[in-house]
Structure 1
């Protein structure tokens, strides 16, 4: 059988499909990593809020136990609580940024999925072309062989007729 004239293209499409599959796999892994980071940050925010409430209650009990629950003690407690709330707000902003990062990663995964599907479709098309080409070559060979067999048969028939 003669060499397939589009073999190079077939190999290129196979490599493109493998690369698309690898890119998709990498994108999925990156998405899972970003989701895990988002979940960790959200859990940290919940933990910080709970810790803030505990610390404020502990400080309030400490001030009450000492008996000097003056304005200065409450002001210090309010400033401390505000600082903790500011840290929580900063973490909430980081969570929003992380959510955007997750959305971008999801878009990238979808894009890679489409690219992988397109690469698979292109590979399938060239493979189908190769199959049809091989069928055509086999059919041509069979036709030539049939013609040769017929010529041999005709030649033998004519030789027998002459005797």
Structure 2
């Protein structure tokens, strides 16, 4: 069988498909990493809130045990609580940024999925062309073989008739 004249294109399409699959896999891994980071941040925020409430309650109990020592200790407690709330707000901002990063990663995954599907479609088309080409070559060979067999048969028939 003669070599397939579009073999180089077929190999290029196979490589493109493999690269698209790898890029899709990398994008999915990156998305999972972003989601894990979001979960970690959310857990951190919940932990900080619980710790803040616990520390405020402990401080209030300490103040109550000592007695009313004055407004100064309550103001210090309020400042401390405000600082903890500010840290929580900072973590909440990081969570929002992380959600945006996840949206970007999801868009990238979808883009890579489309690219992978397109590469697979292109490869399938060239494989179909090769298959059709091979069938055509086989049909041509078989027709030549049949023609040769018919010529041999005719030659033998004519030789027998001459005898």
- Coarse TM-score class (shorter-chain normalised): over 0.9
Q: Which residue of 1 aligns with 2:63?
A: 63
Matched residues in 1 for 2:62 and 2:19: separation?
63
Q: Structure 1: any 5+ residue segments left out of the alignment?
A: none
- 1:82-102 CA deviation, whole Å, 9 max, x = no partner? 000000000000000000001
Q: Deviations over 1:2-50 (max 9, x none)?
A: 0000000111111111111111111111101100000010010011001
Match of 1:85 in 2: 85
Residue deviations 1:44-64 (CA, integer Å, cap 9, x gap): 001100100000111111111
TM-score by length of 2: 0.98
Q: What is the CA RMSD across the aligned residues, in angstroms?
A: 0.8
User: Which residues of 2 match residues 71-150 of structure 1 at below 5 A?
Assistant: 71-150=71-150
Question: Partner residue of 1:40?
Answer: 40
TM-score by length of structure 1 reads 0.98
Q: Displaced runs of 4+ in structure 1, greater than 6 A? A: none
Per the alignment, in what secondary structure is the counterpart of residue 5 of structure 2?
coil
Note the residue ranges of structure 2 that are not aligned, 5 or more in a row.
Answer: none
Distance, in Å, in 2 between the alignment partners of 1:87 and 1:26 is: 33
Instruction: Tell me how many residue pairs correspond in the alignment.
Output: 163
Mapped to 2, the partners of 1:136 and 1:51 lie a distance apart of: 76
